[in-house]
Amino acid sequence: TDQGKHLNRSLKMVQKAVEAEPDNIAYLDSLGWAYYRLGQFDLAVEELETAAGSDENPDGVILDHLGDAYLKSGDKAKALAIYGQLQALKGAQHQIRAGALRGAVVTRGVEGIPLMVKALQDDDYILTAAAARAAEIAAADHSRPPSALLQPAHQPGTHDAARARDQGDRFRHRRVSSC
């Protein structure tokens, strides 16, 4: 479902999987994400809340999906709470940290600018690149799903981590040279 191909077929398959194993968190997350990708945000929230609530320590990816679904369904307060929870996760994968920053910035709109500025000044190149990407996308295109805001534009032969590091270096260099 992440590639956006055959969403209706994927939905039917995941629904069958959930029928067979209704307590399987991965299946519930996949079902919620399929609903999200189909624009059925209320159903997405329902399934993703179930997936997140089924575990004492929910997976960061599930929380990121839930935050995105809350945002699209219009519940900014819950989206911000989820993104805050993601930002507090210690040792989270860089995609989760970047997603939490992106979500917090996009949800806050103009009030998210201080978060972007702070991330642009951070030594963590992932967050620097995430802030730059969030600013770029938010300024240009509000129609993309929040989880896609920080997906790098794939360039053949370019490693994502190296590109993110280079992007962060460019912004740090620009900041230093403009002082």
pLDDT, one tens digit for every residue, the chain (179 residues): 455 568 889 999 999 999 999 999 999 999 999 999 999 999 999 999 999 987 777 888 999 999 999 999 999 999 999 988 888 777 778 778 888 888 888 788 778 888 888 877 877 777 777 777 777 766 665 555 555 544 444 444 444 444 444 444 444 444 444 44
Kindly report the number of other CB atoms within 10 A of residue 21's CB atom: 12
Q: What is the DSSP letter of 166?
A: H
User: What pLDDT sits at residue 72?
Assistant: 92
User: What pLDDT sits at residue 138?
Assistant: 65
| DSSP secondary structure, 62-129, as one string | HHHHHHHHHHHTT-HHHHHHHHHHHHH-TT--HHHHHHHHHHHHHHHGGGGHHHHHHHHTSS-HHHHH
User: What pLDDT sits at residue 165?
Assistant: 46
User: What pLDDT sits at residue 137?
Assistant: 63
SS3 33: helix
User: What pLDDT sits at residue 141?
Assistant: 54
CA nearest to 117, candidates 127, 106, 107, 103: 127
The pTM assigned to this predicted structure is 0.69
User: What pLDDT sits at residue 6?
Assistant: 83
Asked if 51 and 32 touch (Cβ cutoff 8 Å), the reply is yes
